[in-house]
Amino acid sequence: MSSRSKFTIPYETSNSTLVERLFGGLAVSMFIASWIISFISPILFALSIRNERYLIATIITSVSVAAYTPWEKGPISRAFVSFLRLHAKYYKKCAFVFCGESNPEKAKLKSNKPMFFAIHPHGAFCSGWSMLVVAPFMTSVRFCFSPALYYSPIFKFFCRLGVKPGKCDKVSMVGYMKKGENIALPPGGFEEATITGRQDRVYIKKRTGFIKLCLKHGYSVVPVYVFGENRLFSNVQGWWELRLWLNSLGLPAIACWGSTFVPLAPQRHSCGIRIVAGEPLDLPKIEDPTREEVKKWHEKYMTGLTMIFEEHKCDAYGDEGKTMKLEVW
């Protein structure tokens, strides 16, 4: 897999105004807040009823109904997406890099083969993923996330305003793939969020399920690495065995904070954000892939992901990147 042929979509952020940076910080903070509130919304609803805070209960109920009621996107949705795109203006640097035929808007003109975007690292709150969600060149992609979040009305409503949300359970994924949809998700999941730290890490050695599905349905797999994701939030390190066990129960196990004064806003490091989509790994279509075939293509995927890191780390981190290595868990 070679990522030498590439083109870059830079977001000019060096001249961002204070207002643009403030709105960018608000956009990403809203994304994170919706994620957190969604998890605790049942508790908030119960407490609001118990304490006769009916306005809060009404708001939660209204959003829940809107999250599951069919409706077409209109001017409000378009305005909301435009606001969310200011997220990129928050950082000191920001760029999207596509290698080979990894841009779905261009690739679809040359091939009908669907693509699966595997995004790493998850980070504390998937900030790179959230930027791709509203990117104008990713409109043909269904963005999938955990069923727990999908069924959380606040987060689902938030995502429906901008993208085609989807569940990453097996039944749903098979349904999307039978339709030939382009798909994106962070396969590292809660585990990759848990291990996020200053060191670049991915949790992928045990994540073979998406490769098996892509083989069954003849997808091209695009490894995506978000340089700088791990520097947006500080995360308590250690106690990995306990925290990964909590992840196995479907529970997040992060203890993180962002900006000193606004903990839900990411830290603004000098490296900024650089999202690199590697050249697609063209998988054969195998109706019933064996364990050996899945292992073979999974190893090719991990090699491709590591290659992206090695080839682009200095572009992202400067001289600091020369000695950096990607930890593969």
Does 319 reside within a domain?
Answer: yes
pLDDT in tens, 144-168: 988 877 888 788 887 777 778 888 8
Percent of the chain past pLDDT 90, that is, above it, reads 44
Residue 11: predicted pLDDT:
64
Find, among 97, 105, 83, 101, the residue nearest to 29 by Cα: 83
Type of residue found at 201: R
Lowest mean pLDDT among 34-38, 82-86, 211-215: 34-38
**CA pseudo-torsion sign 169, 170, 175, 180:** positive
Kindly report, residue by residue over 97-111, the tens digit of the pLDDT. Answer: 888 766 665 554 445
What pLDDT shows up at residue 315?
92
Residues 274, 128: Cα–Cα separation, whole Å: 9
Write down the pLDDT at residue 289: 95
In a domain, 114, yes or no: yes
Using CA atoms, how far apart are residues 23 and 177, in angstroms rounded to an integer?
Answer: 36
For position 255, what pLDDT does the model report?
87
Q: Is the peptide bond before 121 cis (omega within 30 degrees of 0)?
A: yes
Domain count, the chain: 1
Q: Quote the pLDDT of residue 184.
A: 94
Burial class (CB in 10 A: 0-12, 13-18, 19+), 139: middle
Query: What totals of helices (H) and strands (E) does the chain contain, helices first?
Result: 12, 13
Q: Residue 150: its pLDDT value, please?
A: 82
Per-residue pLDDT at 204 exceeds 90: yes
Q: What is the pLDDT of residues 59-68, one digit of tens each?
A: 888 888 888 8
**How many Å apart are CA 189 and CA 123, to the nearest integer?**
9
Q: Is residue 110 part of a domain?
A: yes
Res 5: pLDDT: 62
Helices (H), 179-290: 189-194, 209-217, 240-248
pLDDT confidence tier of residue 253, bands split at 50, 70 and 90? confident
Q: At what angle do helices 54-68 and 153-160 cross, to 10 degrees?
A: 50
Classify residue 10: in a domain, yes or no. yes
Q: In this structure, is residue 229 part of a structural domain? A: yes
Say yes or no to pLDDT of 219 above 50: yes
Report yes or no on 1 lying in a domain: no
Instruction: Give residue 263's pLDDT.
Output: 85
With contact defined as beta carbons under 8 Å apart, do 224 and 301 qualify? no
Instruction: Provide the β-strand partners of residue 225.
Output: 120, 276
Confidence of residue 80 (pLDDT cuts 50, 70, 90): confident
Summarised one tens digit per residue, pLDDT across range 302-319 is: 999 999 999 999 999 999
Output the pLDDT for position 2. Answer: 45
Summary mean pLDDT of the chain? 87
Q: 231 pLDDT band (50/70/90 cuts)?
A: very high
Choice among 16-25, 185-194, 320-329 with the minimum mean pLDDT: 16-25
Are 24 and 94 a contacting pair, CB within 8 Å? no
User: 185: domain range?
Assistant: 6-328
Query: In the structure, what pLDDT confidence band is assigned to residue 3 with cuts at 50, 70 and 90?
Result: very low
pLDDT at residue 225 greater than cutoff 90: yes
Element (H, E) at 217: helix 209-217
Are 109 and 137 a contacting pair, CB within 8 Å? Answer: no
